[in-house]
Amino acid sequence: MGDKIATREAYGSALAEFGGDNRIVVLDADLSKSTKTDTFKKKYPERFINMGIAEANMMATAAGLASCGKIVFASSFAMFAAGRAFEQVRNSICYPRLNVKIGATHAGITVGEDGASHQAIEDIAIMRAVPNMVVLSPSDAVETRHAVKAAIEHDGPVYLRLGRLAVPALYSEENFTFELGKGITVAEGTDVTIIATGLMVHTAVAAKEILAGEGIQARVIDIHTIKPIDQGIILKAAKETGAIVTAEEHNVIGGLGSAVAEVLIQNCPVPLKMIGVQDKFGKSGKPDKLLEMYGLTANDIVSQVKEVLKLKNK
Amino acid sequence: MSEYSLNDLKKISYKIRMNVIEQVYHAASGHPGGSLSSADIFTVLYFSEMNVDPKNPKWEERDRFVLSKGHCSPALYATLAEKGFFPKEDLSTFRQADSYLEGHPNMTYVPGVDMSTGSLGQGISAAVGMALAGKLDKKDYRVYALLGDGELQEGQVWEALMAAAHYKLDNMVAFLDYNRLQIDGKITEVMSPEPVADKFEAFGWKVINAFGHDHQQLKEALAEAKKTKGKPTMIIAHTTKGKGVSFMEDAAGWHGTAPNKEQRDQAIAELNAVVLELEGK
């Protein structure tokens, strides 16, 4: 599996890798060492602009730069990028559909020790509700690299949800293809489908192994693009496996689970269970301990798979 | 650009004012007060200062303008139409469902609008972004923004002013439409932003005071801004809200209220009288 790499780390490396394009400008709000935009800054200092601890101004400044032909990456923690600067993202970036990519790191509870004030569990819900916004949530370094590339190639606003915690490799560059808006079937299965995003794709794969030992064949789908969501892959899974469990490091209100439910309920209703933060704030602690406390482990997925199978077999 | 005499500029500013009234009257909604107070700033910017091409609104080398106080769209639209960016007849569709003339400016649909604005405090930041882009690309274009004085209550304005000074954006000029009124009354009674000039200076801006209805003074202020190196310039334009329409002048109630037929007729008559006088009729 190789070394563990956080998606924020891969984000910084990808910015540096693809940063040769003179149109790319990277903004940060005094967090470049944490968001890893400093990797870009070291290579292209003339196109890195520190906007200080002023996220609202940073987002609308990004809009102004984009209006002059720049491809702007504006980075901060997800809490401040999607939360504090929500309305700037909505009105100055998305409404005029400007070419701004929001590199939002430290999403979810695996921020760890900094605690609830810094753990965004609402950002997917907020960002996917805004017209013109594309929401990406990659699960490992390789996928992040491709997500950054896709964001550069996409003409319009993109929200890139990234994590602080180092994660193992799920994919290798060989044979990996990334298509914006298309989910990836990580593992085939016929009894049930686990649809996950970000960090939880790893957990879903672990759950699949446990389930296999109990004779349950679970399909695992990685939804790296939460919006526009891949309806085809979801409906195919619903038809072929008849039951779905979603898994995300986000509130169960408005996130991936809700997005999947919106697709299912309108087209092919099947039993659904949602793994996520159960509408409560995070807290300080070691990331692994928090994942346990908040019910985001492989065993939690396994138990919800069993629950959903009861509904399916009723 | 052809030189307009002060007489020409004044005539243009009153035509803009007439079209402000017509738009708001036809829409039966909109913001006449601040549009009338800023009409002279628009006139000087678009007919004396800015390098723009109505036939090529997205021309890369053009000067940019951001209406940070986006609710004064009637003044911006009247000015753009007067300048030839789109037909004046379209102004009567302002705020209608089938019109491109949205209540607050939308850069996607309206030729000549450089930034979508409306939510206060954001436009000035976008102008900072444009000025940064100009510096990055080593281009000569200049960036202008118009702020309301009530808008100064938005904290983001000060974030933007801080950033513009930090990055020495001497290619950027902001106007303050200093009419001293906001929706709920006097700015000093609602939430005082005073002392504004001292604050701008403390934030690292060059500050120039001008009578905001005197085209010559506005032109001189802009010339001085051009000579100012190493810092952005704030032109505090001392204005009267509702300027040019007797019953709208200095009245907070006309911030976002449309005139009825009778009021519209009186306003147009007053404004047209000035135009006729200037034409020597």
**What is the value of ipTM here, to two decimals?**
0.97
- Mutant choice from B59, B107, B125 vs A, greatest count of A C-beta within 10 A: B125
Give the pLDDT of chain A (314 residues) as one tens digit per residue.
568 999 999 999 999 999 999 999 999 999 999 999 999 999 999 999 999 999 999 999 999 999 999 999 999 999 999 999 999 999 999 999 999 999 999 999 999 999 999 999 999 999 999 999 999 999 999 999 999 999 999 999 999 999 999 999 999 999 899 999 999 999 999 999 999 999 999 999 999 999 999 999 999 999 999 999 999 999 999 999 999 999 999 999 999 999 999 999 999 999 999 999 999 999 999 999 999 999 999 999 999 999 999 999 98
Nearest residue to B177 (alpha-carbon basis) of B93, B63, B76, B30: B76
DSSP codes, chain A: ----EEHHHHHHHHHHHHTTSTTEEEEESS-HHHHSTHHHHHH-GGGEEE--S-HHHHHHHHHHHHHTT-EEEEEEEHIIIIIITHHHIIIIIITTT--EEEEEESBSGGG-TT-GGG-BSSHHHHHHTSTT-EEE---SHHHHHHHHHHHHHSSS-EEEE--SSEE-----STT----TT--EEEE--SSEEEEE-TTHHHHHHHHHHHHHHTT--EEEEE--EEES--HHHHHHHHHHHS-EEEEEEEESSSSHHHHHHHHHHHH----EEEEEE-S----SS-HHHHHHHTT-SHHHHHHHHHHHHHHHT-
Beta carbons of B163 and A61 less than 8 angstroms apart = yes
For B118, nearest residue in chain A (alpha carbons): A91
Does the beta-carbon distance from B133 to A65 stay under 8 Å?
yes
Q: Is B278 exposed, middle or buried (0-12, 13-18, 19+ CB in 10 A)?
A: middle
Of B121, B127, B155, the CB nearest to A64: B127
Q: Is A113 exposed, middle or buried (0-12, 13-18, 19+ CB in 10 A)?
A: exposed
Does the beta-carbon distance from B125 to A67 stay under 8 Å?
no
Contact list, B140 vs chain A (CB under 8 Å): none
- Mutant choice from B58, B68, B119, B122 vs A, greatest count of A C-beta within 10 A: B122
Nearest residue to A147 (alpha-carbon basis) of A11, A248, A309, A303: A11
Pick the CATH number of B6-278 from 3.40.50.720, 3.10.20.600, 3.40.50.970, 3.20.20.70: 3.40.50.970
- Mutant choice from B136, B141, B172 vs A, greatest count of A C-beta within 10 A: B136
Domain boundaries, chain A: 5-167, 184-312
pLDDT of residue A197: 98
> What's the N-to-C CA distance of chain A in angstroms?
40
Q: Provide long-range contacts, Cβ within 8 A and 24+ apart, for A82-85.
A: A82/A120, A82/A122, A82/A123, A82/A126, A82/A127, A82/A159, A83/A120, A83/A122, A83/A123, A83/A126, A84/A55, A84/A56, A85/A55, A85/A56, A85/A58, A85/A59
Contact list, A64 vs chain B (CB under 8 Å): 66, 115, 125-133
Q: Give the separation between CA A92 and CA A160, rounded to whole angstroms.
A: 18
Nearest residue to B64 (alpha-carbon basis) of B97, B112, B30: B112
pLDDT of residue A166: 97
Q: Give the separation between CA A103 and CA A157, rounded to whole angstroms.
A: 11
pLDDT of residue A2: 66
Interface A-B: count of C-beta contacts within 8 A:
111
pLDDT tens figures, B172-201: 999 999 999 999 999 999 999 999 999 999
pLDDT of residue B2: 61
pLDDT of residue A314: 87
Q: Do the bridges between strand B64-67 and strand B181-182 make them parallel or antiparallel, or are there none, so unpaired? A: unpaired
Which residues of B lie inside 8 Å of A (Cβ-Cβ)? 60, 64, 66, 106-108, 114-119, 121-123, 125-134, 136-137, 155-156, 159-160, 162-163, 166-167
Of B60, B132, B159, the CB nearest to A49: B132
Of B106, B114, B156, the CB nearest to A57: B156
Domain boundaries, chain B: 6-278
**Does A45 contact chain B (CB < 8 Å)?**
no
**Does A130 contact chain B (CB < 8 Å)?**
no
pLDDT of residue B5: 96
Q: Give the separation between CA A76 and CA A79, rounded to whole angstroms.
A: 8
Of B64, B126, B156, the CB nearest to A63: B126
Q: List active site positions of A.
A: 55
Strand partners of residue A110: none
Contact list, B108 vs chain A (CB under 8 Å): 96-97
Q: Fold match between A5-167 and A184-312?
A: yes
Q: Two tokens at B59?
A: 């021309």
- Mutant choice from A67, A76, A86 vs B, greatest count of B C-beta within 10 A: A67
Beta carbons of B118 and A63 less than 8 angstroms apart = no
Does the beta-carbon distance from A47 to B155 stay under 8 Å?
no
Does the beta-carbon distance from A62 to B114 stay under 8 Å?
no
Chain A nearest CA to B52, separation (Å): 15
Does the beta-carbon distance from B126 to A70 stay under 8 Å?
no
**Main-chain dihedrals φ then ψ at residue A161, nearest 5 degrees:** -95, 120
pLDDT tens figures, B43-87: 999 999 999 999 999 999 999 999 999 999 999 999 999 999 999
Neighbours of A165 (CB within 10 A): 19
Q: How is domain A5-167 classified at the architecture level of CATH? A: 3-Layer(aba) Sandwich (3.40)
Contact list, A51 vs chain B (CB under 8 Å): 163
Does the beta-carbon distance from B126 to A67 stay under 8 Å?
yes
Beta carbons of B69 and B120 less than 8 angstroms apart = yes
Q: How is domain A184-312 classified at the architecture level of CATH? A: 3-Layer(aba) Sandwich (3.40)
Q: Give the separation between CA A5 and CA B96, rounded to whole angstroms.
A: 53
Chain A nearest CA to B97, separation (Å): 17
pLDDT of residue A3: 87
3-state secondary structure chain B: CCCCCHHHHHHHHHHHHHHHHHHHHHHCCCCHHHHHHHHHHHHHHHHHHCCCCCCCCCCCCCCEEEECCHHHHHHHHHHHHHHCCCCHHHHHHCCCCCCCCCCCCCCCCCCCCCCCCCCCCHHHHHHHHHHHHHHHCCCCCCEEEEEECHHHHCHHHHHHHHHHHHCCCCCEEEEEEECCEECCEEHHHHHCCCCHHHHHHHCCCEEEEEECCCHHHHHHHHHHHHHCCCCCEEEEEECCCCCCCHHHCCCHHHCCCCCCHHHHHHHHHHHHHHHHHHCCC
pLDDT of residue A132: 98
Q: Give the separation between CA A28 and CA A51, rounded to whole angstroms.
A: 6
- The residues in A 51-70 lying below 8 A from B, measured between CB atoms, are 51-52, 54, 56-70
pLDDT of residue B281: 80
pLDDT of residue B1: 52
Does the beta-carbon distance from B115 to A49 stay under 8 Å?
no
Does the beta-carbon distance from A60 to B155 stay under 8 Å?
no
For chain B, which residues score pLDDT lower than 70?
A: 1-2
